[in-house]
Structures are given as C-alpha cells and as structure tokens.
Amino acid sequence: MEAQKMADLPADRVTPEPPFTTVGLDVFGPWTVVTRRTRGGSAQSKRWAVLFTCMSTRAVHIELIETMSTDSLINALRRFFSIRGPAKLLRSDRGTNFVGACKELGLDTDNTAVGNYLQARGCSWVFNPPHASHMGGSWERLIWVARRILDAMLLQKGPTSLNHEVLSTFMAEVMAIINARPLVPISTDPDCPAILTPAMLLTQKMDTVSAPSGNFSSGQLYGKQWKRVQHLADTFWKRWKGEYLSTLQSRAKWTENRPNVKEGDVVLLKDAQVNRNKWPMGLVTKAFHSNDMKVRKVEVRIVKEGTPKVYLRPISEIVVLLSETQ
C-alpha cells in the first residue's frame, strides 16, 4: 500500500475558537430498546447516536436518533445547533445520511476554505475520501471511548430493560464522563491544581464554590461572577496553548517523505471483499495535492464488467504497479 508523510494538522485543530465552532461527527450504534410492553412480550426498536466533537477543545456532544435516515440526522443537527450554537465547519466521512443531509440543507461541499462560508447557513461541510477512516481519527477515537463507557454501564443495567429514556440518560452520562477527561497529563505542581478538561470550558466550573463571607452588594457579586467566568475561560485557553497544543505536534508514524502518486500511474485498487490477486487494475486520472504539495488522495479509473468507473480513494487503498515517470 502507498503511504505519505503525515500531514500537518488542519487549522481548526490548532486555532482557539468558541466550543463547537468546527465540529467532527459520526454515527455509532445501534442499541435495541423497548418501545412498549404487550401481553405477549414487548415491542422493540433500534436507536443510534450521533457524536459531535469540537475539533479544538475536544469536547463532545451526543444526540440519539431513531433511524439512519437523512431526516433523523437533520433533526439531530437542529438539536445540536440549538443547544451548542451554530457551527461554521462540519467534518465527517461520506456516509449516505451525511451526504443526504448536506444536500438537503444546501451546505457547500466544494469550498473547503474555513473563512469562506455560505451567507445563508454560515456553515460548510467537508467530507473525507471514501475508505479513509484514518483521516477521521479525532472522532473515531472518541467513539471508541464512548462505546467502552457505555458497555460498562450496560453490563450493570442489562440490555433487556433498556428503553429510550434510560439510553438517553446513559448518553448524557457518557458525554459528561468524556468531557471530564484530562487533555494533558495531570500536573503535580501545587500552584496549578486544576485539571485541564473540556468540561472546564463548557461549564465554567473547576470545583465547588463555597458561599462568600461578608456583605456584598448585588453589583459586586455580578462583577465578581463575570470576572470569574472570564478568568476560567482565559485560564483554559492559556493552558490549552501552553500544555495541550504542544502534544499535537509529534508524529508517531508516517514520518518520511515519499514520492507522490501521479496522474497516469497504473495501480491496483484495494478491495476488501475479494482476494488480493483479484484486485482491479486502474489508472490514476487525478491526484489531489495538499497544502504541503503531498498527494494523499487520488481518483482512479477502472473498468468493471465492461463499464468504466471512477473512484475517489486515499493512497493507502492503492498499490502502484507502474509509475508514469518510469
């Protein structure tokens, strides 16, 4: 399989912005819930969950949906925007419900520049290439964490007594647990006892505040509360820049520059459903260059059952047989 040096993080991962300004999302599940009791037993249906993660603060928000349809996803988006405020950039894979919701809402999928959004919606949607789950690691990792927490809860509750209300409560608790996780290793410095977490910014609470002693006017109390909230926000972003941001710079793998895949290269297209010796052979018709001029996704033209087809794939899904430069 082809590989390339790991790209720099996108700007929305390293830019201090209000929570959920830029969002990654994905769907996970399903879970079977009891919808109503009958004399012969119980009627059951399935539920899925949409996980929204803030690309900069790493906070999460979870919404339950009843179906994997476009309508259910749009309703989840409406609830999310109502609670967390509108986002200006959404990132996801190319799930059919995501693509359908993007078309229904009239969001721009061609313009990937963060600063150039639709006037009417104030939001754009960027899709990763098909078969490129590693490009959505920022939300795939959190879905794995959410599953682990939820599985531990369901072991205590038992899946047979799960209904929509219970599952909704569990999701809220999962959300609270994930948002309370430390973003950086816990410091032993007595001058910095607070733990940097997404909840610190979302709730503006670090610890239990005791009742103030003395007599204060209402104006003083309002001023002190405003200063405290502002201080917590400033503290979060100061530590986010000084402690968390530096941890994102390391590259654990894909550290070497590789030759770019070029238009005209003859390649094998990986297909997990067939044996390797039956992978289709194709021709690279278009190579997409990133900002660092490295190619990490391509368009491949193959002939399948006498019909030419073009696929968009990451380079990890192809094997170069013959380069046009050779």
User: Mind listing the pLDDT tens digit for each residue in 162-187?
Assistant: 788 888 888 998 998 899 888 887 76
**Tokens of residue 63, six digits:** 């919404």
Under 8 Å between Cβ of 108 and 118:
yes
Distance CA 36, CA 34 (A): 6
pLDDT score at 115 = 33
pLDDT score at 64 = 94
Under 8 Å between Cβ of 48 and 29:
yes
Distance CA 308, CA 303 (A): 4
CB atoms within 10 A of CB 276: 9
Is the link from the previous residue into 190 a cis peptide, with omega within 30 of 0? no
CATH 3.40.190.10 for domain 11-179, yes or no, is: no
Under 8 Å between Cβ of 97 and 70:
yes
Walk across the sheet containing 266-269 and list its strands. Answer: 307-314, 295-304, 281-289, 266-269, 318-322
| DSSP characters over 50-62 | EEEEETTT--EEE
Radius of gyration of the chain (CA): 24
Q: Hey, which residues does 3 pair with through a beta bridge? A: none
Distance CA 288, CA 314 (A): 10
Q: Tally helices (H) and strands (E) across the chain.
A: 6, 10
pLDDT score at 229 = 59
In the predicted model, residues of the chain with pLDDT beneath 70 are 1, 37-42, 108-121, 156-161, 187-193, 206-233, 249, 324-326
Question: Does residue 148 sit in helix, strand or coil?
Answer: helix
| For the chain, domain boundaries | 11-179, 266-322
**Tokens of residue 146, six digits:** 């959410």
Which one-letter amino acid corresponds to residue 124?
S
pLDDT score at 231 = 64
Under 8 Å between Cβ of 280 and 304:
yes
Distance CA 54, CA 294 (A): 27
Q: Hey, which residues does 308 pair with through a beta bridge? A: 303
pTM score of the predicted model: 0.74
